[in-house]
Structure 1
């Protein structure tokens, strides 16, 4: 079929090259599948390893011979280490593995081998190659990976505070196979560099160094080296602390700026830090000697009584191997004590809290009072008040006098409905216009023969007098009203 396809390819020269490449790839892949081997084998030095090889699906193929070929991992020449022939048997040519390699089964179908006392230098590729007819040589490759567990360590590098980057920590993974990977975990700002060196028996040693600009603030800070290797289930953590030497740093504590005359037992403390740790701490007064009222014990200075003699400058000095550091304080002596700012703050806080409590109490009192008023019915009315009360005026009385069918209403106050047309208060209009009740309204009552009662006209229309009570009784009888009481309202007309 390949011949036919090639003939067709001659007709289509544009696709010929690609087609031939595909045919070769498919043929080679199919042939390579006959030799079955393991892709990779791991081992430690001194162990015994087995390299398996088997020829599968040998129908129609004649197996002639099988050979094992070793290709070192490092650049080097291939070597035949074992050969098997069905007629001539086993053969082990001269190689670095002679005497340690042998066939397990001794057959062409399963020519697996084993290597004893494996060494680190045995690492590389092992090729199982068959000589066959008619397909030619076919092979499979197994990679041997030699493992060696490294020895990991970490150590700080003692340096002096400076301005240039230097190595402050070193981590090493020695004699491992394959090469280890080293990383760092720390809060300090620096950089890491790593180098690899070949060790004994084909092992590798990796060294990583951490560099930074050393400062006193970084002294004692944590840094961790993490080593990752194929032989370890997880990364190994190696913690340590940085060691940076620096001059003593000194500060005086205890001065509260309230040294007044007569104050007793005032204590100043000299706090000194450094690497190496300061070993010598001294106090002195500048200028002049230390006052008699001052007692010094190690890093503490006690003023037994404040007076004019302590109106000086006190100096504390600490020393280590690198040199000395110092701090000083010059107290100000006053006649009277000052109010401690902290006490003033506390008083302000207390006053603020009390004021807040008072506001909360007043609010609670007002809320409870409102609730009690609501329960007792005090406060704004919960119902709609009645309309304004008005006694019967002259207008209603006149209307009643003209309506004989209107039923008699009981005495007392009368109410106007909220709905409906409001009535005109004639009396009010008369009063606003300067007229009195019962006064002539433009009609000549005397000409009609009506007598005018001047006394009744002089009374207020709603005054509670006997005459008013009489007028109320007369309202029940329209005929009893005088012409003056009727005003200008004409008699009712009935239709």
Structure 2
């Protein structure tokens, strides 16, 4: 029935583990130490330890213990209030001491001088107490060593198998460095080993493997080393060195070598690593025409004739081998008609011109239209009303038209507005003075109206209006009756 109880063996085991962890945690917390101390070889290191406020706990003895990475423990310093200080034989003998002599149990800090890489490890401050037993705190001493980094490329020949094209190394560092590669070519980087040196430092090596091709020659590759002692990664930019025989190409022949053509040139272009050293021109038949001139990688024909109907070969050599190219020249009697230029550009130009003309025409039309609308627009000011002028004797006086209203005894007066220019019959002017000139004037009736008598009858019998206009000596045309 015990297994059916809520406090089964599993439950008891879990409870016990939790209890032990609480006890252990509280015990670790009572001994105050630095979790980690970082130093460099040759420096002095201080390792602090405190047991503050022991309360009812009786401190009987304190010991410093050195534990290697392999787990081997060695006492390096011991203090007992009654028996004093003791420094047992250890890897730090002669270099370790309490900072206070005699030390205090509550603060037994020690110092280690002239630290070496072999001193790296765990340092335990352990108290013998009553009644709780031993209590301790652990400090990890980390020794840093700045590595020596370098990188280089490996000269290889182009081939079909992967080979090492670059190497990178970070030597004598602590802890181990990290190496990475950056490049645009295909391949991969491989870390070889992390070598533990006798002084506890580490050397890291890495290689970059690639199937080399001529196109990879001169490509960028860089090695990047990251280490705890460096604020930023150290980068080594390099360029791959791939060797290959010359690659040759003849340029300059356009299939239009005709009789009489001048200065026809063939150029032998070559690439190779190492740099090509010699360039040789020859023909398939072995005979070079007399009209041909050769200078380094150029073959020039001052004037084309039938003798250059041949196959020309260019050979280029470097330390790895020879590369060559050839071209067969066919001499024509007459030159080829040059192909007509593409009509696309012409059509595009015509369309652009048409669009430009359309834009100009539209702009001119709009300007003309605006000017016309401005001239045809009504005046922006209102003319003053006509004023009655009683000076009929003046020839520039406005004629008055009197009309009798059939519903009223008072006559209605209308005033003619003066036109911009008087209408004058120059043929009727024969006199020497102004009066004769005035009598000779011939007035025409206003447009749409004739001179007729219009009598208005009050009783409604055939009303007619007879305009009574006093023209006098005026040069004004008869008024228009509205």
The equivalent residue for 1:332 is: 330
Give the aligned length: 367
> Which of 235, 251, 254 is the equivalent residue of 1:253?
251
Does the 8 Å CA contact 1:175/1:200 hold for their aligned counterparts?
A: no
CA distance in 1, matches of 2:50, 2:153: 54
Counterpart mapping for 1:147-226 below 5 A: 147-195=144-192, 196-226=194-224
- Say if 2:41 is the partner of 1:25: no
Name the SS for the 2:244 alignment partner.
strand
> Which of 284, 309, 315 is the equivalent residue of 1:311?
309
The equivalent residue for 1:87 is: 82
CA distance in 2, matches of 1:139, 1:217: 64
CA distance in 2, matches of 1:109, 1:354: 98
The equivalent residue for 2:123 is: 126
- Say if 2:52 is the partner of 1:56: yes
- Say if 2:57 is the partner of 1:38: no
Change (3 A) 1:131 1:271: same
The equivalent residue for 1:455 is: none
| Aligned-pair CA distance for 1:12 | 5.9
- Say if 2:118 is the partner of 1:137: no
- Say if 2:73 is the partner of 1:112: no
The equivalent residue for 1:276 is: 274
| Aligned-pair CA distance for 1:66 | 0.6
Counterpart mapping for 1:94-105 below 5 A: 94-105=89-100
| Aligned-pair CA distance for 1:76 | 4.5
**Runs (5+) with no aligned partner, structure 1:** 1-10, 379-495
Q: Which runs of 4+ in 1 moved over 6 A?
A: none
Q: Deviations over 1:412-441 (max 9, x none)?
A: xxxxxxxxxxxxxxxxxxxxxxxxxxxxxx
TM-score normalized by the length of structure 1: 0.70
The equivalent residue for 2:229 is: 231
Does the 8 Å CA contact 1:247/1:324 hold for their aligned counterparts?
A: yes
> Which of 7, 23, 38 is the equivalent residue of 1:13?
7
| Aligned-pair CA distance for 1:357 | 3.3
Change (3 A) 1:222 1:365: closer
CA distance in 2, matches of 1:56, 1:340: 102
> Which of 226, 239, 242 is the equivalent residue of 1:241?
239
Name the SS for the 1:109 alignment partner.
coil
Q: Deviations over 1:215-236 (max 9, x none)?
A: 0000110000000001000111
CA distance in 2, matches of 1:181, 1:352: 64
CA distance in 1, matches of 2:145, 2:360: 84
CA distance in 2, matches of 1:113, 1:340: 96
| Aligned-pair CA distance for 1:348 | 3.5
CA distance in 1, matches of 2:91, 2:239: 48
**Runs (5+) with no aligned partner, structure 2:** 374-482
261-270 vs 240-249, which moves further: 261-270
TM-score normalized by the length of structure 2: 0.72
CA distance in 1, matches of 2:347, 2:184: 43
CA distance in 2, matches of 1:19, 1:351: 94
CA distance in 2, matches of 1:191, 1:147: 30
Counterpart mapping for 1:434-449 below 5 A: none
Name the SS for the 1:292 alignment partner.
coil
| Aligned-pair CA distance for 1:256 | 2.3
The equivalent residue for 2:359 is: 364
| Aligned-pair CA distance for 1:166 | 1.1
Name the SS for the 1:273 alignment partner.
strand
Looking at secondary structure, tell me which structure has more helix per residue.
Answer: 1
CA distance in 1, matches of 2:110, 2:367: 105
| Aligned-pair CA distance for 1:247 | 1.1
| Aligned-pair CA distance for 1:257 | 2.2
Name the SS for the 2:199 alignment partner.
helix
CA distance in 2, matches of 1:12, 1:267: 102
